[in-house]
Amino acid sequence: MNHDVIIALDFPSAREVYAFLDRFREEKPFVKIGMELFYAEGPQIVREIKARGHKIFLDLKLHDIPNTVRSAMRVLSRLDVDMVNVHAAGTIEMMRAALEGLTREDGSRPMLLAVTQLTSTSEERMRKELLIASSMPDTVRAYAQNAKDAGLDGVVCSPLEAALVKDACGPDYATVTPGIRFADSASDDQSRVMTPEKARLGGSDLIVVGRPITRAQDPVSAYRRCVKEFIGGEKDVVD
């Protein structure tokens, strides 16, 4: 799978997003639209960013009864995004329903990923609050395998877990990893972070980067630095 850098568009409104995207004159970065922007602006923001030529990861992390997720995915499949996701905790049956709903009549569909365990969930909370007695690596491995059994294309996980997912599910199973920081930048509220270069060496296919790019003095340079550190000499500018 092609390596790429996905910019997390964590902005509260369309105005801020366009001011940010307008800075990019030579590249069309792959972008992630999350709950904040989607709930603020609705599906129109997705259509507009797509029309500008960006690839889109719609990060809505669906988790509900299978029938509801199937119907919601049928609606999302019309938005022509490149990637969407669900929580693996919703069960294999729910993930299968998501895949069904997402698949268009002609058989095409966006990539579908599963969130294993959120990087904000600690092993202690998992045990005490969620009553999951297994270790974090065992849980992530099992959830990734469930998602693979359901027919999904890969998972969203910590860059620290990408290698174990590849090991359990094979090299073609996609790993998309947030929690990325430059060696010299602040970690913000992310507790377990990795540099772009280490993420690549650790098995991440796609990295999701928010604040190190969106809050940089010069976001275009920060994006280019990120691509260079992550992709290296493979290609100079992502398409």
The residues in 176-235 that bind ligand C5P, with binding defined as CB under 6 A, are: 178-179, 188, 190, 208-211
**Interface mask (CB under 6 A) for ligand C5P, residues 104-133, using x and -?**
--------------xx--------------
Catalytic residue among 50, 61, 198, 228: 61
49 vs 70, beta carbon nearer ligand C5P = 49
- For 6, list phi and psi in degrees, rounded to 5: -110, 125
Q: Which is nearer to ligand C5P, 70 or 202 (CB)?
A: 202
Residue that the structure tokens 């966006």 belong to: 110
Output b/e per residue, 4-34; b: 16+ Cβ within 10 A: bbbbbbbbeebeebeebbeebeeeebbbbbb
Check: CB of residue 175 under 8 Å from CB of residue 204. Answer: yes
CB of 197 to ligand C5P, least distance (A): 16
Nearer to ligand C5P, 8 or 17 (CB): 8
Kindly state the smallest distance separating residue 34's Cβ from ligand C5P, in Å. 5
Nearest residue relative to ligand C5P (C-beta): 210
The distance of closest approach from Cβ of residue 226 to ligand C5P in the complex, given in angstroms and rounded to an integer, is 10
Q: What is the nearest approach in angstroms of ligand C5P to the Cβ of residue 117? A: 8
34 binds ligand C5P (CB under 6 A): yes
Q: Which secondary-structure segment (H or E) carries 155?
A: strand 154-156
Tokens of 127: 């045990």
Using rule CB under 6 A, residue 8 touches ligand C5P: yes
Q: Is 28 a catalytic residue?
A: no
Check binding of 160 to ligand C5P (CB under 6 A). Answer: no
Distances (CA, A) of 46 to 16, 34, 101, 212: 14, 10, 19, 23
Query: Minimal CA–CA distance to 7: which of 229, 224, 233?
Result: 224
CA 169 to chain centre: 18
Q: Which is nearer to ligand C5P, 70 or 113 (CB)?
A: 113
Q: Does 87 bind ligand C5P (CB under 6 A)?
A: no
Q: Identify which of 136, 165, 131, 128 has the alpha carbon closest to the alpha carbon of residue 148.
A: 165
Distance CA 152, CA 114 (A): 7
Amino acid at 11: F
Min dist CB 19 to ligand C5P, Å, is: 18
Residues catalogued as catalytic: 61
Residues that bind ligand C5P (CB under 6 A): 8, 10, 34, 118-119, 156, 178-179, 188, 190, 208-211
